[in-house]
Amino acid sequence: MNSADYGPIGLVVIQATSLCNLDCSYCYLPDRQKRHQFDLNQMPLLLQRIYESPFWGPHLSIPWHAGEPLTLPCSYYDEATKCLEKATAELQQQGVVIDQHIQTNATLINDQWAACIKRNQIEVGVSIDGPECIHDSHRRFRNGNGSHRLTMRGIRTLQDHGIPFHAIAVLTHEALDQPDEMYEFLRDEGIHHVGFNVEEQEGVHAHSSMQGLRREKQYREFLRRFWRRNQRDGFPIKLREFDQVLEMISVGQRLRQNEMNRPYSILSVDAAGKFSTFDPELLSVETERYGLFNLGNLRDLSLEDATQTEAFRQLQQDMNAGMAQCRSQCDYYGFCGGGTGSNKYWEHGTLNASETCACRFSTKIPVDVLLEQLEEQSATAS
Amino acid sequence: MNKTTLLSLAAALAASSVLCESSRAAVHSQPDASNALEQRIQKIDHQAWSDLDHEPPQTPPLVARAWGNGRGRAWGNGRGRGFANGGGGGFGNAYRGGFANW
C-alpha cells in the first residue's frame, strides 16, 4: 500500500442519529424515520482508529450528519466535545485542529441550542431552499405541514446570537423559474454564504425533477440571472458554485482527484459504528453490485486493514477506472477531479462511469456560466 | 487512545506532514494550457477579475496551498458542498460541500 494514494482524512462524517423530524420529498436517506443513535462511547475507538492509521492529517472536520442532528439533546454535543478534547488533547496541543459541524434544518434551533452551538464551537450549515412557496413544496413535516416558518425562526435565532452559518439550498424545478425571488430572499434575509445542491437522483430518491436538456438550459439561465443580480448589488452573496471555481483559477490550481474519489479523504461512520470512505452518501446504502459499501465496523477492523479487503479493492478499482474515463473525455476535469462515485452509481449502476447529470449541474454549467460572465466583462473592459 | 509520548507525537506529526505534502501533489495539478477552457481563461482581461475582487490567474505557488476549497467541499474547512439532496455536510477541507438533496 502506498500511503500517498490515500487521505489525509480531513472529514469524518458521523451519523449522530438517523432520525429526521422532516420528511423532505427528495431525501436519499432510507432510515430517517428511525432513531438509531451513534453511541458516544464509540468515540475514543473512532479516534484511535484514525490516529493509529497512516491516513490522519493536521485538520479534521467532524460534521454530525445523515439525519437531523438537533433531534438529539444539547447534552449529546456537550458530551461529544468532552470526548474529543479528552482523546485528542495532546494532538491539539501540538497543532492538530479538530472542529465540529452540523448541517441542520434549523427548525429546532432556540436559545438553548444557540448557547450549545457557541460553547461547543460548532460550525453551522442550514438547509433552506428559498422563499416559503419553494421551500415548502418539498421540505415538510410528516404531517404534511411546511417547515419554512420554523426554519426561518431558527435562522433568526442564529442571527440574533451572532452565530455565522452557511446555507444549502436544494434546487428543484420549482426554483428555476424564480431566480429573482431566490436571490432577493437570500439577500434580504442576510443569508450570504450559499451553496446550490441541484436535486439528485440518489439513494431511495430514485427520480429527480432536475434531469434533461430542458432543465439544464433552465439552470444556465437561472445562474446567469443570479450572477447579474448579485453583481448589480456588489456581490453580497458568496455562491459556492462560482467561488470554488474562482478560487482554483485565482491560484492556478486544478484537480487530479477530489475528496469523494480519493480513499480516506473522507471517513463516514454510521450509528452502529460501520464505516466507509469515498462519498458519505454511500454509507450503509445497500446495493446489488457493491453490497453495503461499508468496509467494516470500527470494533473489528482498522482503517489500514480495511484497504486489504475485497470490498475495498473492488470499489477502488472501479473508482479509478471511472476517473480515468473522465480524465480522457472531459475538458472540465481540472475543475472536478473525476466526479463522485455516488452520482455515478445512482445514474449508471457502477463507479466505473464518467459523465453524470449531477456533474453537468454541479461543475460544467457553473463553469460555463462563470466564464461567459467574465468574458462579457472582459469585452466591456477592453 | 494509546498513550503517546511527546517524541512519538512529534514523529507522527512529521509523518503526517510528509503524507499531506505527497497527497497534495497527488491531488493538485497545474492548468493544462492545451485545454480549450484554459485558453478561454487566459484570454479574460485582468480588469474583469479585479471587478470581482479576485486575483487574476497566477502561476501555481511553490508551496501547495492547503487541500481545501479547490473542489471538494466548497469554502474549505467545514463549509462544504453538502451532501446530496439536502445533506449539507460539508463545506470543510475541500469537500465540494455537499451531501446531495438536503
Least confident range of A118-132, A215-229, A259-273: A259-273
Residue owning grid cell 472542529: A99
Q: What is the pLDDT of residues A49-101, one digit of tens each?
A: 999 999 988 889 998 987 899 999 999 999 999 999 999 999 999 889 999 99
Residue B10 confidence (pLDDT)? 61
Q: Which of A24, A54, A375 sits opposite B40 (nearest CB)?
A: A375
Query: What integer best gives the mean pLDDT of chain A?
Result: 91
Instruction: Decide if pLDDT at A159 tops 80.
Output: yes
- Fill in the DSSP letter of residue A101: E
CB contact under 8 A, B28 and A253: yes
Closest-CA distance of chain B to residue A311, Å: 23
Closest-CA distance of chain B to residue A79, Å: 17
Q: A206 — alpha (psi -120 to 50), left (phi > 0) or beta?
A: alpha
The CA–CA distances, whole Å, from B78 to A82, A101, B89 equal: 20, 7, 8
- The band of A39, judged by pLDDT with boundaries at 50, 70 and 90, is very high
CB contact under 8 A, A57 and B20: yes
Residue B27 confidence (pLDDT)? 83
User: Mean pLDDT across the stretch A251-256?
Assistant: 89
Neighbours of B59 (CB within 10 A): 9
CA atoms of A147 and A32, how far apart (whole Å)? 16
* Chain B residues whose beta carbon lies within 8 Å of the beta carbon of residue A344: none
Neighbours of A229 (CB within 10 A): 17
Q: Which residue of B has its CA nearest to A264?
A: B23
Q: What is the pLDDT of residues A75-89, one digit of tens each?
A: 999 999 999 999 999
CB contact under 8 A, B90 and A125: yes
Q: What is the pLDDT of residues A351-366, one digit of tens each?
A: 999 999 989 998 999 9
CA atoms of B4 and A68, how far apart (whole Å)? 36
Residue A284 confidence (pLDDT)? 66
Per-residue 3-state assignment (H helix, E strand, C coil) for B47-78: HHHHHCCCCCCCCCCCCCCCCCCCCCECCCCC
Report helix, strand or coil for B73: strand
Least confident range of A22-36, A79-93, B29-43, B82-96: B82-96
CATH 1.20.120.450 describes domain A1-382: no
Which range of A268-272, B12-16, B91-95 scores highest in mean pLDDT? It is: A268-272
Residue B68 confidence (pLDDT)? 28
- The band of B20, judged by pLDDT with boundaries at 50, 70 and 90, is low
Instruction: Decide if pLDDT at B96 tops 60.
Output: no
Q: What is the pLDDT of residues A290-345, one digit of tens each?
A: 888 889 999 999 999 999 999 999 999 999 999 999 999 999 999 999 998 888 99
For every residue of A9-78, DSSP letters joined together read EEEEEE-SBS--SB--TT---TTTTS--B--GGGHHHHHHHHHHSTTEEEEEEEEE-SS-GGGS-HHHHH
Residue A88, all three cell numbers: 485528542
Strands B82-85 and A266-269, how do they pair?
unpaired
Residue B45 confidence (pLDDT)? 81
**Residue of B18, B27, B83, B95 for testing the chain A interface, max A β-carbons within 10 Å:** B83
Q: Which of A52, A128, A58 is nearest to A99 (CA)?
A: A58
Residue B69 confidence (pLDDT)? 25
CA atoms of A68 and A17, how far apart (whole Å)? 7
Angle of helix A213-232 relative to helix A365-381, nearest 10 degrees? 40
Instruction: Decide if pLDDT at A234 tops 60.
Output: yes
The CA–CA distances, whole Å, from A98 to A87, A118, A120, A277, B73 equal: 11, 16, 12, 19, 16
- Establish, for the pair of chains A and B, how many residue pairs have beta carbons separated by less than 8 Å: 336
CA atoms of A136 and A41, how far apart (whole Å)? 38
Which is higher by pLDDT, A35 or A78? A78
Instruction: Decide if pLDDT at A35 tops 90.
Output: no
User: Mean pLDDT across the stretch A203-219?
Assistant: 82
Report helix, strand or coil for A293: coil
Q: Which of A172, A84, A70 is nearest to A126 (CA)?
A: A70
| CA-based R_g, chain A, Å | 21
Residue B14 confidence (pLDDT)? 63
Residue A345, all three cell numbers: 452509481
Instruction: Decide if pLDDT at A202 tops 90.
Output: no
Instruction: Decide if pLDDT at A370 tops 90.
Output: yes
Q: What is the pLDDT of residues B28-76, one digit of tens each?
A: 889 999 999 999 999 988 777 777 765 555 443 322 222 222 223 333 3
ipTM summary value: 0.83
The pTM (predicted TM-score) of the whole model is 0.86
Residues making up chain A, counted from first to last:
382
